[in-house]
Chains A and B, each alone.
Chain A
Amino acid sequence: MISFIVLLFSFILENSWSLIFYNSSSLFLSLFSLVTIFSIYPLFKNNNKKYLITSFIYGLIYDITFTNTLFLNALVFLFISFIISKIYKNFSMNFLNVSIITICLIIIYRIISYFAIIIINGFNFDWLLLLKSIYSSLIVNVIYIFILNFIIKHICLKLNIKITKY
């Protein structure tokens, strides 16, 4: 239930953020939905199947609502959540690791989605555009994941909900 609320919150926030802080040269591009997938993994208590299905459906809704690219984000979210499930088993989640992993996930997401879009729509490949899309998304999303992790931890403590610790 908490994971559902967190996903819904990030979804709504991403929608509003795009209007409030949009600027073509902005350094605060949001990928809240993507980083939320990383944040909510402990709430699934090692139930990988449920986690992957949730990520896929979430990606599908993201596709339909925001990008109109049916299945693209669903498949990318599924792939990224698979990576996340492996990462959680092999790394401890401290400040530095969370930052590095979030940055890596953003880079993976941007590269896959950009290549998919240029192959399908026939866009011209532009290194600078790809680079800009990556560095513009880093600051705000790394801050967001720390805030989200902090909130999730406190809610779970208050409500006595057990989460998987790594």
Chain B
Amino acid sequence: MYKKKKLEKKYIFIIIGFIIALITIFVISVIKTDRKLNPFEKVVKDAALTVGSVFYKPVQFFQNKINENKEKNNIYKKYKDLEEKYKSISFNEARINELEKELDDLKKILEIKDTLVEYDKINATTVNRNIGYWDDLITIDKGTSSGINKDMAVITSEGLIGKVVNASYFYSSVRLLTSDELGQKVSIKIHLTEDRYVYGLLSGYDNNTNCFLIEGVSENVEIPEGSIVTTTGMSNIFPAGILIGKVSGSKKDNFDLTMLIEVIPSSNFDDLNFVTVLKRKSDV
């Protein structure tokens, strides 16, 4: 009788242990921010963010008015800067047209459908920013209904900022490159001269220096400060040639084993009101 009771107790412990393990697995799988949203989550997210956006509109109106007033003070300086830039635009436009024509001809000859540099653009507005604090997420007002899917690259006019981690019907979450998430390594190349590159991996972000860290670069190569860093396109996510930043220096890692290149981001991560999602043509 005693033995039977002891046996039953043992089974109860096993069942409880099993249930706890199941719950733990379930919780871990649902807490991950880059999982696919279920229909219930999509509906709740869309409804809540739509309500939030409606109330934000008047605030945004006044915010824009304040910004406009601030901008007015710099208008003459900006006009002069733009005038300088405008002079070189016609020359660059003609050159780009010529290169595009050349590229099309070469693609026809080689029977290539799309290259790594080609993408469609979807413009979006940010509706909230990093409320959870740890994940460095922004939410944008375009979702699957606008053709946005998981893992699409997101840029601003200044350069790459992150990738889409999940999307509901009308909104998407974007994880920024400044996030600590380990899975987000970006293949990059550093432009040494016009036709000489060094390849590496963007592996993290240093919160103290506000710089990206690049690893996997050969120690024998001298990398000058100010070298431009762009994506290589050697992944399913980021198209080639997207600007990331400029090299600001190098240091050894904590174990003194590998060289880490520090890169100042080209994008201002404090000002991400308008972003563009890139849809790679080679994925279509």
Contact = CB atoms under 8 A, between A and B. Distances in A.
Contacts of A15: 49, 52, 55-56, 127-128, 131
Contact of A20 (B27, B59, B180): B59
A70 B49 contact: no
Contacts of B34: 68
Interface in A3-20: 8, 11-12, 14-16, 18-20
A135 B133 CA distance: 13
A113 B134 contact: yes
Chain B at the A interface: mostly helix, strand, loop or mixed? Answer: mixed
Contact of B182 (A18, A72, A121): A121
Interface string B109-132: 000000000000000001111111
Contacts of B60: 19
A136 B32 CA distance: 25
A124 interface: yes
Contacts of B253: none
Interface stretch (A59-67, A77-85, A91-99, A145-153): A59-67
B44 A65 contact: yes
A130 B132 CA distance: 13
B31 A70 contact: yes
A114 B49 CA distance: 24
B166 interface: yes
Most buried by B among A15, A61, A114: A15
Most buried by B among A61, A65, A124: A65
Contact of A72 (B31, B129, B165, B180): B31
B52 A12 contact: yes
Contacts of A144: none
A67 B48 CA distance: 13
Contacts of A72: 31
B128 A114 contact: no
A2 interface: no
Contacts of B137: 67-68
A24 B173 CA distance: 18
Contacts of B166: 68
A83 B157 CA distance: 47
B145 interface: no
11 contacts: A12-B51, A16-B52, A16-B55, A18-B129, A19-B127, A19-B273, A67-B132, A68-B33, A70-B41, A121-B181, A133-B134
Given A66-B131, A117-B135, 11 more contacts: A11-B52, A15-B56, A16-B59, A18-B131, A20-B63, A24-B210, A64-B45, A67-B137, A68-B173, A120-B28, A121-B182
